């Protein structure tokens, strides 16, 4: 679970002798940190696998279970302005009203009809990487059932949650009026995502943009998920490469038995608790050369677009799914 | 939508965005441009053509349109040979104008009549109807007249359908609706027609008022429903009736079913957006940043509104949210707050600046010049941060090379950048978001895409430490610079010149403001000067190499010297303690250039350098105390060295002694006997044309031209006169160098340079002496 939120690249804290910026404003600091991030290698050559994050300690298992087995579309999000955890109830009410108003726009019927939905904001305790990370929160849209006798809890129409996991590098430049929850995950109809996103943008002056996962990060995910110990494998490890050619692009799917993949990874992987860039590269190279031996196709010349393992799957267009609890 | 139509849509859009595309960078030009366009809007066609600020070619188009309308009014000429051709031509005219700018309401009135009267064939009627796009509004009377044609049954069923679809689509643009509502009964009767029914339903849905709901109509509708089954359009109308008169309708209608009408507007989607945008009209704001709120977005963007830039809304939510917690005093205070929607003029802004409600989305200030004023003067950190976050993320998301080959999108991105740049020009200040964006995007930039916008963004990089920014920006820029065409090189130099100017302005302001504000960068003056001088050296390096790459192109040299025109005047113009000279590669290229204007520009720059250096020297002498910013003697030496070579070349005919030193042996090998003279004022290659024309004036009958016979004094005088005649408009500063020469008393040439020029520090003063004695 905790492995897919690949921590944002944390630039090594090398301090350069710089006497130009002494008492800089947050804006300046932000620019400074961008300069650092740009001038250093964008991704650290090695990443630590967090052994025990906050997650295990005080998490509500019911809620986490609710987040699993769903496909999430990822968005990146700028800090929320004047967001307050104490106002969640109020936000529910306002968002509810907003959705109703939006849905009725341009509709022919349902004049004056009550829209049978319910919006719930709630915090996701423990969904964070470090103590400093702000609390994650969940937004759900439920349909209220028509008949009062039935279960009041209706069907979940849409779910989205906001979180920040290992956001140290971002947090240091965010001032107190802002809440930094840079990752937003949505599940449900895109039209709902759009309405809710618009409301957040208007209310907290933030900006959503679709988050894509590039091939480089996908291969990291492949390696790290392969490494996960699973009691019983439910699915094969599968990779999907795309060959851009006209008129139709060609997809190459490559499935291996998860135990084989694990065996390969174990033979490569050295230090427990840490994964290096070389290991990931080697892992992928092995797969490539194996494929080349059989089909005479250089996969390295194509683009990796999807990775799915028994643990989770991720697509380059920013969709991920967890398969294991 | 047919592909043909699509093309037209694109055209229409281009047309619309044009106004925002062509803008000038300077504030004054920008203001001026706004003026006439507004006044023209008012004068032309009354209300009907607020988009009138396009080119004058439109006048021609209008004439053609007039002819076309007349043609249609007369009806088809039966005998004419090329009847089809003429018809086609006129139709095309109407279509073009309609999709570009829309038609005036009188034109629509005429054409609508024609389309429905059945004068022409069905195909023509269809085409006319399809292009009935109003410039702003459609008059109610035209619609009523058109409906009356439906009664006489002159047009085909398909034309009728199209008419109803058109009516539904354009419903919002009809100026008044009372009389149309009087025709309710007629429309209702048309429900009988199966083909028309869905569209008539939609029209009735838009038209229905409470008093239109009558029992007999309800009965009729229910009958229809029984006959035709559960049709969504009928249901829609029924539910509306039920809403107005619940007692009349007892049947239950499905509550939760979504019912949409078929999209009647589809045909005109783009046109509708364009009309909406036109109808936003010129706003009363003094300075309006165009790219209005209705900027057309591709449909794929489902999320936000039409424009990249959010629409201006005051943050009503926060108000609502805090209401509960507010005490009475808060309430009282709050009542004084001023909603943004009411903010229309600068005086209003001044009166309410303390209690202005900020917009809910800070990005919307980009479109509003008044709020740009506001964020310029409040140094409120959250406000700036909100803007920063929004702009950074938007720039990154919109940047086209993330989404390749999307022309429409590219255009939009360009417009967006233009808006940002306009705002930067307006504020005279760069945005940090743009700088951060450049860090990420410049290394990936191909040097082509949005070139002018990118280079302008470069010129608005906020002042910062050059050595820090260099690896992130300028190294990448240099790579592009060296590998691109000469035009690219020139535009880069141009934008670096602007960058220098912006930095200098900022610094010269900052020095004077220092005690009051804490400047965003806590820099020492020395640090700042160091940064500026590094920038100048960087440009010097670029220029020297570029001169070699472009084999001393005059064109390029002009841009380089333009840059140094800024550089040479830093001390006097900006009151900053900095004089940086140009590298030898530039100086000698200019000195030996074949172009008079280059040489002239060089003389001007040398002249300004001298003024700056003497001013600096004077200040030093006055202040006595050793300040941190005394220029090193090296600068003076360097300048004197340049001046010596210049004088040696042009005046004293001792070109290769001091300054440019060339081994006499090599000079002998060239075989030029009179090399000493060959670069002086008379023989210098760039003056050759002047020399010849001088000789021809002096002795027109002479067959052979002997340049050496020219007397310097007279020549310089004549040359000056000619030169000024030729160039006085282009270059006002043609003056200094030639002035000195022309005013020379006879025989003084040798006297003046009898002074020995020493390479000591004080030379500037000496040279001042020399030059003043010349004058």
DSSP per position, B543-558: HHHHHHHTTS-HHHHH
Residue B581 DSSP code: P
Domain end residue (candidates: A160, A182, A210): A210
Task: Kindly write down the DSSP assignment for every residue of B450-496, as one continuous string.
Answer: THHHHHHHHHTPPP--HHHHIIIIIHHHHHHHHHS-HHHHHHHHHHH
Contact A25 B243 (CB under 8 A): no
CA A194 – CA A199 distance, rounded (Å): 9
- Kindly report the nearest CA distance between residue B81 and chain A, in angstroms: 48
Q: Would you tell me how many other CB atoms lie within 10 Å of the CB of residue B193?
A: 14
Within a domain: residue A3? no
Q: Indicate if B158 and B228 belong to the same structural domain.
A: yes
- Cα A111 from Cα A311, distance rounded (Å): 47
Total count of domains within chain A: 2
Is A33 domain-assigned? no
Search chain A and give the residue with CA nearest B317.
A203
Record the tokens describing residue A85, joined without a space: 């955890």
Would you say residue B388 lies in a domain?
A: no
Q: Which domain holds residue B107?
A: 59-73+83-267
* CB nearest to A207's CB, from B393, B468, B518: B393
Pick from B243, B361, B518: CB nearest A202: B361
Residues A260 and A184 in one domain: no
User: Residues A264, A175: one domain?
Assistant: no
pLDDT of B519 higher than 70: no
Interface contact flag, B303 A208, Cβ < 8 Å: yes
A143 and A229 both lie in a single domain = no
Picking from A183, A210, A237, the residue at the C-terminal end of a domain is A210
The alpha carbon of residue A195 is apart from the nearest alpha carbon of chain B, in Å, by 7
Instruction: Please tell me the distance from the alpha carbon of residue B410 to that of residue B401, in angstroms, as a whole number.
Output: 9
Shortest Cα distance from A234 to chain B (angstroms)?
36
Radius of gyration of chain B from its Cα atoms, rounded to whole angstroms = 36
Residue B131 has a pLDDT of 85
In a domain, A181, yes or no: yes
Q: Are residues A167 and A63 in the same domain?
A: yes
Distance from CA of A324 to the nearest CA of B (A): 32
Judge: A21–B521 Cβ closer than 8 Å, yes or no.
yes
Give the nearest chain B residue to A180 (CA atoms).
Answer: B389
Answer yes or no: do A111 and B390 touch at CB < 8 A: no
**Percent of chain B having pLDDT more than 90?**
15
CB pairs under 8 A between A and B: 139
A249 & A179 share domain: no
The reply to whether A308 and A230 lie within a common domain is yes
Domain ranges, residue A304:
215-322
**How sure is the predictor about A118, in pLDDT bands with cuts at 50, 70 and 90?**
confident
* Within-domain flag for B199: yes
Do A280 and A299 belong together in one domain?
yes
In-domain check, residue A14: no
Domain count, chain B: 3
Q: How far is A36 from chain B (nearest CA, A)?
A: 10
Last residue of a domain, one of A210, A244, A274: A210
Cα first-last separation, chain B: 76
> What pLDDT score does B642 carry?
87
Structure tokens belonging to residue B661: 């030193």
Is the pLDDT at B333 greater than 50? The verdict is no
> Would you call A198 and B440 a contact, using CB atoms and an 8 Å cutoff?
no
Residue B284 φ/ψ, nearest 5 degrees: -75, -5
pLDDT above 90 for A8? no
Specify whether A128 is located in the same domain as A179.
yes
Please tell me which residue of chain A has the smallest CA distance to B319.
A203
Give yes or no for residue B566 having a pLDDT over 90. Answer: yes
Q: Is-contact A164 A128, C-beta < 8 A?
A: yes
Same domain, B698 and B624: no
Q: Judge whether B413 lies within some domain.
A: no
- Among candidate residues B221, B241, B267, the one where a domain is terminated: B267
Assess whether A56 and A203 both reside in one domain.
Answer: yes
Do residue B482 and residue B583 come from a single domain? yes
Check CB contact under 8 Å for A90 and B324. yes
Is residue A198 located within the same domain as residue A229? no
Q: What percent of chain A has pLDDT over 90?
A: 29
Pair A56, A205 in one domain: yes
Cβ contact (<8 Å) for B239 and A111? Answer: yes
Are B376 and B427 within 8 A, CB to CB? yes
Paired tokens of B74: 């007369």
Q: Is residue B303 part of a domain?
A: no
> Angle B381-398/B407-427 helices, nearest 10 degrees?
150
Chain B CB contacts of A177 below 8 Å: 382, 385
Is B740 within the bounds of a domain? yes
How many other C-beta atoms lie within 10 A of the C-beta of residue B542?
A: 21
Question: B92 to chain A, minimum CA–CA distance in Å?
Answer: 34
- In degrees and rounded to multiples of 5, residue A144 shows phi and psi of -75, 135
| pLDDT exceeds cutoff 60 at A169 | yes
CA distance B535 to B644: 27
Q: Which of B172, B213, B303 to mutate to test the interface with A (most CBs of A within 10 A)?
A: B303
Residue B130 shares a structural domain with residue B236: yes
Both A72 and A148 in one domain: the answer is yes
Are A20 and B468 an interchain contact pair (Cβ–Cβ within 8 Å)? yes
Query: Helices (H) and strands (E) in chain B — how many of each?
Result: 37, 0
Give the lowest-confidence range in B240-249, B423-432, B651-660, B718-727.
Answer: B718-727
Distance, C-alpha A38 to centroid of its chain: 22
Chain B residues with beta carbon closer than 8 angstroms to that of A207: 363, 389-390, 393-394, 397
Q: Is residue A280 part of a domain?
A: yes
Q: Which residue has the higher pLDDT, B82 or B167?
A: B167
Report the pLDDT value the prediction gives residue B538, as an integer from 0 to 100: 96
Q: What is the mean pLDDT of residues B309-319?
A: 63
Does the distance separating the beta carbons of B255 and A110 come in below 8 Å? yes
Residue A16 lies in a domain: no
Chain B residues in contact with A35 by the CB 8 A cut-off are 439, 468-469, 472
Look at A31 and B317 and tell me if their CB atoms are within 8 Å. Answer: no
What is the per-residue burial (b if ≥16 Cβ within 10 Å, else e) of A43-78?
Answer: eeeebeebeebbbeeebeeebbebbeeeebbbbbbb
Nearest Cα to Cα of residue B579 among B544, B631, B527, B641: B631
In a domain, A6, yes or no: no
Do A201 and B384 make contact, defined as CB atoms within 8 angstroms? no
Distance from the A127 Cα atom to the nearest Cα atom in chain B, whole angstroms? 24
pLDDT in tens, B368-401: 888 888 888 877 788 888 888 999 988 888 886 6
Same domain? B148 vs B223: yes
Cross-strand partners of A312 = A322
Cβ of A38 and B440 within 8 Å? yes
pLDDT at B589 over 70: yes
Structure confidence by residue, pLDDT tens digits, B19-74: 333 333 333 333 333 434 443 333 334 344 444 444 455 567 677 888 888 888 77
Instruction: Determine the residue of chain A that is closest to B312 in CA distance.
Output: A202
Q: Residue B497 CB: number of other CB atoms within 10 A?
A: 20
Residues in chain A with CB shorter than 8 Å from the CB of B252 are none
B235 and B123 assigned to the same domain: yes
Inter-chain touch A25–B389, beta carbons under 8 Å:
no
Residue whose entry in the numeric block shows the structure tokens 């030729």:
B726
Q: Tell me how close the Cα of B243 comes to any Cα of chain A, in angstroms.
A: 7
Radius of gyration (C-alpha) of chain A in whole angstroms: 22
The reply to whether residue A27 touches residue B432, judged by beta carbons under 8 angstroms, is yes
B563 and B485 share one domain: yes
A146, part of any domain:
yes
Residue B556 domain flag: yes
Which range, A77-81, B275-279, B634-638, B761-765, is most confident?
Answer: A77-81
Looking at the structure, do residues B718 and B571 belong to the same domain, yes or no? no
pTM, two decimals, is 0.66
B247-277 pLDDT per residue, tens:
877 777 665 555 556 665 567 777 777 777 7
Residue A314 to residue B12: CA distance in whole angstroms: 42
Q: Report residue A32 as tokens.
A: 């400074």
Contact B256 A110 (CB under 8 A): yes
Measured distance CA(A319)–CA(A74) in Å, rounded: 6
Residue B347: inside a domain: no
What is the 3-class SS of chain A, one letter each residue? CCCCCCCCCCCCCCCCCCCCCCCCCHHHHHHHHHHHHHHCCCCCCEEECCCCCHHHHHCCHHHHHHHCCCEEEEEEECCEECCCHHHHHHHHHHHHHHHHHHHHCCCCCCCCCCCCEEEEEEEECCCECCCCCCCEEEEEEEECCCCCCCCCCCCEEEEEEEEECCCHHHHCCCCCCEECCCEEEEEECHHHHHHHHHHHHHHHCCCEEECCCCHHHHHHHHHHHHHCCCCCCCCCEEEEEEECCCCCCEEEEEEECHHHHHHHHHHHCCCCCEEEHHHHHHHHHHHHHHHHHHHCCCHHHCEEEEEECCCEEEECCCEEEECCC
**What value does the mean pLDDT of chain B take?**
73
- The pLDDT score that the predictor gives to residue A106 is 54
**C-beta separation of B547 from B556 below 8 A:** yes
Q: Is residue B557 part of a domain?
A: yes
């Amino acid at each position: 679970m905790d492995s897919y939120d690949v921590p944002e690249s944390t630039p090594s804290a090398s301090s350069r002798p710089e006497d130009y910026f002494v008492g800089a404003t947050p804006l300046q600091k932000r620019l400074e940190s961008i300069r650092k991030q740009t001038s250093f290698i964008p991704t650290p050559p090695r990443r630590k696998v967090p052994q025990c994050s906050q997650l295990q300690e005080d998490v509500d298992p019911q809620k986490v279970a609710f987040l699993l087995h769903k496909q999430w579309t990822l968005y990146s999000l700028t800090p929320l302005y004047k967001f307050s955890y104490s106002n969640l109830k109020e936000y529910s009410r306002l968002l509810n009203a907003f959705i109703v108003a939006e849905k009725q726009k341009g509709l022919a019927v349902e004049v004056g009809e009550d829209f049978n939905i319910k919006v719930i904001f709630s915090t996701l305790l423990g969904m964070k990487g470090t103590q400093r990370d702000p609390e994650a929160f969940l937004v759900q849209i439920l349909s209220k059932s028509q008949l009062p006798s039935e279960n009041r809890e209706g069907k979940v129409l849409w779910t989205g949650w906001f979180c920040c996991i290992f956001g140290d590098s971002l947090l240091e430049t965010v001032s107190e009026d802002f809440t930094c929850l840079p990752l937003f995950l949505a599940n449900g109809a895109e039209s709902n995502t759009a309405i809710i996103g618009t409301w957040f943008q208007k209310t907290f002056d933030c900006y959503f943009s679709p988050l894509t996962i590039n091939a480089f990060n996908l291969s990291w995910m492949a390696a790290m998920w392969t490494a996960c110990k699973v009691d019983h494998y439910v699915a094969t490890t599968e990779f999907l490469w795309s060959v851009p050619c006209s008129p139709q692009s060609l997809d190459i799917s490559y499935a291996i038995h998860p135990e084989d993949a694990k065996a390969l990874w174990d033979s490569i992987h050295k230090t427990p608790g840490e994964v290096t860039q070389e290991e990931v590269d080697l892992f992928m190279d092995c797969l490539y050369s194996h494929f080349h031996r059989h089909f005479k196709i250089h996969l390295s010349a194509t683009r990796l677009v999807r990775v799915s393992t028994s643990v989770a799957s991720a697509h380059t267009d920013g969709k991920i799914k967890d398969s294991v609890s | 939508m047919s592909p043909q139509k699509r093309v037209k849509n694109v055209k229409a859009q281009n047309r619309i965005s044009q106004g925002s595309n062509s803008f000038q960078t300077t504030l004054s030009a920008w203001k001026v441009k706004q003026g006439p366009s507004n006044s023209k809007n008012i004068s032309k066609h009354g209300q009907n053509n607020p988009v009138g600020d396009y080119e004058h070619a439109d006048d021609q188009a209008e004439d053609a349109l007039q002819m076309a309308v007349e043609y249609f009014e007369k009806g088809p000429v039966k005998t004419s040979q090329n009847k089809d051709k003429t018809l086609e031509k006129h139709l095309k005219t109407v279509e073009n104008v309609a999709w570009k700018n829309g038609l005036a309401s009188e034109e629509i009135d005429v054409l609508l009549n024609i389309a429905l009267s059945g004068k022409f064939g069905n195909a023509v009627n269809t085409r006319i109807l399809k292009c009935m796009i109003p410039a702003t509004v459609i008059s109610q009377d035209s619609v009523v007249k058109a409906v009356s044609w439906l009664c006489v049954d002159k047009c085909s069923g398909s034309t009728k359908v199209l008419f109803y679809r058109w009516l539904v689509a354009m419903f919002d643009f009809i100026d008044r609706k009372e009389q149309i509502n009087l025709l309710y009964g007629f429309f209702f009767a048309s429900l009988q027609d199966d083909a028309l029914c869905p569209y008539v339903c939609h029209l009735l849905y838009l038209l229905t008022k409470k008093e239109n709901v009558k029992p007999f109509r309800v009965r009729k509708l229910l009958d229809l429903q029984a006959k035709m089954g559960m049709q969504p359009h009928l249901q829609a109308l029924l539910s509306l009736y039920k809403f107005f008169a619940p007692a009349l309708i007892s049947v239950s209608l499905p509550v939760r079913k979504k019912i949409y009408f078929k999209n009647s507007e589809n045909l005109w989607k783009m046109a509708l957006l364009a009309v909406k945008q036109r109808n936003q009209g010129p706003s009363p704001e003094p300075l309006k940043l165009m790219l209005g709120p209705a900027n057309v977005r591709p449909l794929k963007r489902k999320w936000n509104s039409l424009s990249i830039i959010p629409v201006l809304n005051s943050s009503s939510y926060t108000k609502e949210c805090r209401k509960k917690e507010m005490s009475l005093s808060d309430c009282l205070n709050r009542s004084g707050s001023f909603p943004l929607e009411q903010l229309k003029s600068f005086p209003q802004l001044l009166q309410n600046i303390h209690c202005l409600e900020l917009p809910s989305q800070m990005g919307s200030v980009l479109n509003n010049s008044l709020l740009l004023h506001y964020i310029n003067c409040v140094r409120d950190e959250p406000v700036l941060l909100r803007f920063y976050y929004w702009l950074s993320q938007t720039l990154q998301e919109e940047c086209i090379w993330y989404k390749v080959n999307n022309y429409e999108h590219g255009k939009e991105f360009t417009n967006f950048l233009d808006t940002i740049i306009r705002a930067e020009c307006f504020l005279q200040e760069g945005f940090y978001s743009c700088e951060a964006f450049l860090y990420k995007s410049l290394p990936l930039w191909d040097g082509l895409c949005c070139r002018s916008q990118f280079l302008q963004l470069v010129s608005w990089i906020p002042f910062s430490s050059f050595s820090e920014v260099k690896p992130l920006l300028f190294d990448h820029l240099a790579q592009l610079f060296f590998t691109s065409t000469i035009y690219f090189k020139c535009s880069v130099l141009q934008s670096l010149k602007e960058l220098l100017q912006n930095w200098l302005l900022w610094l010269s302001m900052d020095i004077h403001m220092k005690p009051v504000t804490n400047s965003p960068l806590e820099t020492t003056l020395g640090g700042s000067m160091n940064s500026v001088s590094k920038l100048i050296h960087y440009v010097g390096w670029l220029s020297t190499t570029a001169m070699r790459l472009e084999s001393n192109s005059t064109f390029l040299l002009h841009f380089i010297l333009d840059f140094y025109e800024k550089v040479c005047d830093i001390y006097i113009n900006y009151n900053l303690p900095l004089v940086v000279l140009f590298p030898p590669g530039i100086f000698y290229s200019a000195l030996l250039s074949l172009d008079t204007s280059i040489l002239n520009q060089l003389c001007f720059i040398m002249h300004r350098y001298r003024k700056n250096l003497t001013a600096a020297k004077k200040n030093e002498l006055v202040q006595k105390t050793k300040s941190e910013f005394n220029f090193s003697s090296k600068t003076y030496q360097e300048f004197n060295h340049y001046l010596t070579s210049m004088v040696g070349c042009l005046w004293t005919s001792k070109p290769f002694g001091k300054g440019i030193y060339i081994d006499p042996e090599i000079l002998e090998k060239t075989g030029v006997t009179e090399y000493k003279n060959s670069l002086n004022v008379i023989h210098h290659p760039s003056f050759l044309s002047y020399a010849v024309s001088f000789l021809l004036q002096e002795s027109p009958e002479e067959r052979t031209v002997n340049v050496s016979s020219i007397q310097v004094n007279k020549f310089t005088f004549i040359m000056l006169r000619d030169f000024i005649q030729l160039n006085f408009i282009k270059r006002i500063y043609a003056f200094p160098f030639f002035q000195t020469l022309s005013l020379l008393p006879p025989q003084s040439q040798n006297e003046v340079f009898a002074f020995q020029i020493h390479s000591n520090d004080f030379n500037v003063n000496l040279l001042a002496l020399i030059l003043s004695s010349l004058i």
